[in-house]
Amino acid sequence: MTRTPVLFFISLLTATLALTSAFIIEAGTSYAIGVGLVGIAWAAARPRKLTWAPELGFVGFVGFAALGIRLNANTLLLLLGVTAAVAAWDLNAFERRIDRPSVAWDSVRGLERSHSMRLLAALAIGAAGGWIARSLQIPFLFWPTILLGLIAVLGLSQVVGYLGPMKVEPPSSANSGEGGLV
């Protein structure tokens, strides 16, 4: 068993609780119930391996966060919720990739460790960018904002490219049981 399912549920629970709390504090319980239903539906769809459920759950959480911004909800809770939703979405997709028969079980731990480190770096950069954007509150026009977003995406892709491809050492022949009769 890998750590990915546990990390997924922690991320999903964090996203659900953060967004629900933001709505309860500011806008009442009706929106909070909607966020809770999205989280429950996403968790319930995971064992069924529905490929569209993570995308729909992620879009639902981002949509509720945008609504929360419109309703002047606590932006720190909204940022935490969206960051955790990104983690849950990514971990769900990663789990689907390693759940294929072509993936060697020996390499899963290394892949998982490498993926977790990359995900943590991306989440930290994204959360820091969100915190800075929240703190500065500089008014931008639409097109400069789009340009700034593209620059941020290109910068993040350069950072990920700098980290290089995920490498997992293949198991040695001494441990594979394919021994020495010629």
Mean of the pLDDT values across residues 7-15?
A: 88
Q: Which amino acid is at 32?
A: A
Q: What pLDDT does residue 181 have?
A: 41
- Weakest mean pLDDT among 68-72, 123-127, 133-137: 133-137
Q: What pLDDT does residue 164 have?
A: 61
Is the pLDDT confidence value at 173 over 50? no
Residue 65 CB neighbour total at 10 angstroms: 25
Mean pLDDT of the chain: 77
- Weakest mean pLDDT among 9-18, 82-91, 131-140: 131-140
Mention every residue, 6+ apart, whose C-beta is less than 8 A from residue 16: 35, 36, 38, 39, 81
Q: What pLDDT does residue 26 have?
A: 79
Mention every residue, 6+ apart, whose C-beta is less than 8 A from residue 167: 114
Mean of the pLDDT values across residues 18-28?
A: 85
Residue 72 CB neighbour total at 10 angstroms: 9
- How far is it, in rounded angstroms, from Cα 85 to Cα 115? 16
Q: What pLDDT does residue 176 have?
A: 47
Contact 2, 109 (CB under 8 A): yes
